Amino acid sequence: MPSRLEALNRWVDDVARLTQPDRVHWCDGSDAEANALRAQMLANGTLIELNQDTHPGCTLHRSHPSDVARVEHLTLVCTKHEEDAGPNNHWMDPAAAHEKIDALFAGCMKGRTMYVIPYCMGPIDSPISRCGVEITDSPYVVANMRVMTRMGAPALARIECEGSEALARGAQPAFVKGLHSIGELDPERRFIMHFPEELTIKSYGSGYGGNALLGKKCHALRIGSFQAKSEGWLAEHMLIVGIENPQGETHYVAAAFPSACGKTNLAMLIPPEGYREKGWKVWTIGDDICWMRPGADGRLYAINPEAGFFGVAPGTDKSTNPNALASIQHDTIFTNVAVTADNQPWWEGLHEGAPATDWQGRPYDAKNGPAAHPNSRFTVSAKQAPSWSPKAEDAQGVPISAIVFGGRRPSLVPLVFEARDWAHGVLVGAAMGSETTAAATGAVGVLRRDSMAMKPFCGYNYGDYFAHWLSFDKAGAKLPKIFHVNWFRKGADGKFLWPGFGDNLRVLEWIIDRCDGKAGAQETPIGFVPRESDLHVEGLALRDGALDELLDVDLDGWAAEVEDIGRYLDSFGTRTPERLRAEQRRIAESLARENEPQRRAVAS
């Protein structure tokens, strides 16, 4: 069923000529197609059937042991001018990049089937949604894209319709073109190249997650952020969650945390018992990516461009994320988890069962490290989450009341604080830092700046990106308030001070009440911080002094932090907006003023 759109057929023909597959298959997204692919993958070992009595429809995929996470050092942004990619990206000249990667693609699909996957990111009828086509030689990618995106015939129809409209206007069809091959899975020849000016992605040599499911990070964030800048919207690495209070009012919150820092968990949070009894409910709109734009009333409206969750398995348990655990009991693809003796999926942090076979298929032996890979994942349709919101299918999106930034900060950064205004909030997002996690290859636990949790995903110069964020502050705008949270503060004993998970609702409640002008706070140089009495923590088992520590603003520590933030802003040179530098100076001066009386007191 090739397309009626000539530009699409021509590109598919060109790719087939380059990669030389034995067959070309256009994916229609039907059940019959999915079942046939699944049978084929079970037969050749790409998928392994899990216990069908306990986990009907569930399968396991073991990726190549060297191919288990995103590879940031081989992820490139290829803009005409190097400064447009910025120091936050690895850059290559577009012509050189095409030449280099096309040489790898040449003949790489011989003996394989080439799948053409038309997909839509976002509800199929939403004006905020955008379409793409991924060409891949991996049936595992097809199976995942079917869960993660609106894939198949309806997406193709939208691409054709938009393409004809564009041609009628004298413009070119504007779907995103993604070309992917697992190649020979050689880590030395593993490139993920983005050509934002051409709406093109080329990924070679990986079959894993964000490297291979091109609708996700490559399209919805790297190409998406670039499109968003030129069209006046935002493509962000954020969850979207609805918090319904006992009065039945729902506030929507968008939160940016780096990879493996708690987005899926917060998006599916179950309120603590006392809150549940009073009638609090939590609704999931999205767990990883948020596209938002100003509506006619000046508020920001958000959609989740994805249709499924590609979630971190380790740590998912009844006690931490019961909604996620309930979602993945059937019709789920597991990648790189361990299995129990009776063939059920297993990972570290799951309290039921014990591992018999590790993620590489070896008999489990603690000497080999964790049974499940720390970045092992589940792929599941969002519809399977008990907390899935009907509003997630709304073409107009949901209005955002608060934007939250956060990362893994073992020290210094309080549990929560509120920015004074939008410009201060943009600085708070730009200055975000977090310890690295297993979601990308490389060292784990190293503190790095990760502005708006977009370091690996911003498809252009961070300086321009900060300016784009600031540009939303204009007449008539009713922007969300901006906050920063830190669930990962540790005490002297190295243990987390805050219980996290469901109890994070206590912090969200304060955030929402601040938006409604109903909660108190103390003004400090870094923003508004709740006093102990402003948070509802009755009955919560916190260690002695923990809350005091969690809400403390260490002026000396912050003075050093803000100085470092200044150096970080300087690293983007003249692209960093002056407004942001002024904000940084304002906070540095305010910290110095606050410190002054203390210093004098110590001296006398």
Q: Which residues face 119 on adjacent strands?
A: 132, 151
How far is the C-alpha of 561 from the C-alpha of 555, rounded, in Å? 10
Binding to Mn ion (CB under 5 A) within 234-263 occurs at 259
**Residue 484 binds what, of ligand GTP, ligand SPV, Mn ion, none (CB under 5 to 8 Å, by partner type)?**
none
* Residue 433 binding result from ligand GTP, ligand SPV, Mn ion, none, given CB thresholds of 5 to 8 Å by partner type: none
Closest approach of ligand GTP to the CB of residue 262, in Å: 3
Helical residues (DSSP H) of 381-472, grouped into ranges: 422-430, 462-470
Q: 423, 473 in Cβ contact below 8 A?
A: yes
For the CB of residue 268, give the shortest distance to Mn ion in the complex, in Å. 14
Q: Which is nearer to ligand GTP, 458 or 555 (CB)?
A: 458
Among 195, 208, 257, 558, binds ligand GTP (CB under 6 A): 257
> Cα(383)–Cα(538) distance, rounded to whole angstroms?
34
Q: Please list the alpha-helical segments (H only) found in 255-306.
A: 263-267, 273-278
Q: How far is the CB of 315 from ligand GTP (least distance, A)?
A: 2
Quote the CA–CA distance of 362 and 348 in Å, as a whole number.
16
Q: Tell me: does residue 288 bind Mn ion (CB under 5 A).
A: yes
Check if the beta carbon of residue 518 is closer than 8 Å to that of residue 439: no
Question: To which residue do tokens 């004006």 refer?
Answer: 127
Task: Write the binding mask 426 to 455 for ligand GTP: x where contact by CB under 6 A, - elsewhere.
Answer: -------------x----------------
Collapsing DSSP to helix, strand or coil, 176 comes out as strand
Total of residues contacting Mn ion (CB under 5 A): 2
Indicate the residue among 91 and 496 with the shorter CB distance to ligand GTP.
496
Cβ proximity to ligand GTP: between 79 and 265 the closer is 265
Q: Contact letters (x/-) for ligand SPV, 296-335, by CB under 6 A? A: --------------x-------------------------
Query: Where in 109-168 is the site for Mn ion (CB under 5 A)?
Result: none
The site map against ligand SPV for 44-73 (x = CB under 6 A) is --------------------------x---
Distance between CA 248 and CA 543 in Å, rounded?
Answer: 33
Binding site partner of 557, from ligand SPV, ligand GTP, Mn ion, none, Cβ cut-off 5-8 A by kind: none
Strand-pair category, 433-435 with 447-449: antiparallel
- Are 346 and 368 a contacting pair, CB within 8 Å? no
Q: Are 309 and 264 in contact (CB under 8 A)?
A: yes
Q: Where are the alpha helices (DSSP H) in 245-306?
A: 263-267, 273-278
Report the amino acid identity of residue 407: G
Give whichever of 148 and 580 is closer to ligand SPV, judged by the CB atom: 148
Nearest distance in Å: CB 105, ligand GTP: 28
Nearer to ligand GTP, 199 or 253 (CB): 253
The upper half-sphere exposure of residue 229, i.e. CA atoms within 13 Å in the direction of its Cβ, equals 21
- Does position 210 interact with ligand SPV (CB under 6 A)? The reply is yes
- CB hemisphere CA count around 271 (13 angstroms): 21
From residue 406, alpha-carbon distances to 301, 432, 546, 602 in Å are 21, 7, 19, 34
- The active-site residue, picked from 78, 131, 261, 458, is 261
Catalytic residue list contains 108: no
d(CA 11, CA 198): 13
Taking residues 112 to 131 in sequence order and writing x for each that binds ligand SPV by CB under 6 A, - otherwise, the string is: --------------------
Contact between 482 and 422 under an 8 Å Cβ cutoff? The reply is yes
Nearer to ligand GTP, 224 or 311 (CB): 311
CB closer to ligand SPV out of 75 and 387? 75
Binding mask 300-339 for ligand GTP (x = CB under 6 A): -----------xx-xx----x-------------------
Strands (E) located in 62-190: 75-77, 90-91, 113-121, 130-136, 150-151, 176-181
Site membership for ligand SPV, residue 229 (CB under 6 A)? no
Amino acid at residue number 11: W
Q: Does 224 bind ligand SPV (CB under 6 A)?
A: no
Identify which of residues 209 and 502 has a Cβ nearer to ligand SPV in the complex: 209
- Torsion, Cα of 568, 573, 574, 580 (10° steps): 0
- Which residues between 495 and 514 bind ligand GTP (CB under 6 A)? 496, 500-501, 504
d(C-alpha 39, C-alpha 432), whole Å: 45
The one segment of 165-173, 254-262, 296-304, 542-550 that binds ligand GTP by CB under 6 A: 254-262
CA distance 357 to 365: 8
- Which is nearest to 236 in space by CA: 221, 219, 252, 216? 221
By CB under 6 A, residue 112 contacts ligand GTP: no
What residue ranges bind ligand GTP (CB under 6 A)? Answer: 257, 259-265, 287-288, 311-312, 314-315, 320, 439, 487-488, 496, 500-501, 504
Catalytic residues: 261
Residues near Mn ion (CB under 5 A)? 259, 288
**Which residues contribute to the site for ligand SPV (CB under 6 A)?**
70, 209-210, 216-217, 259, 288, 310, 439
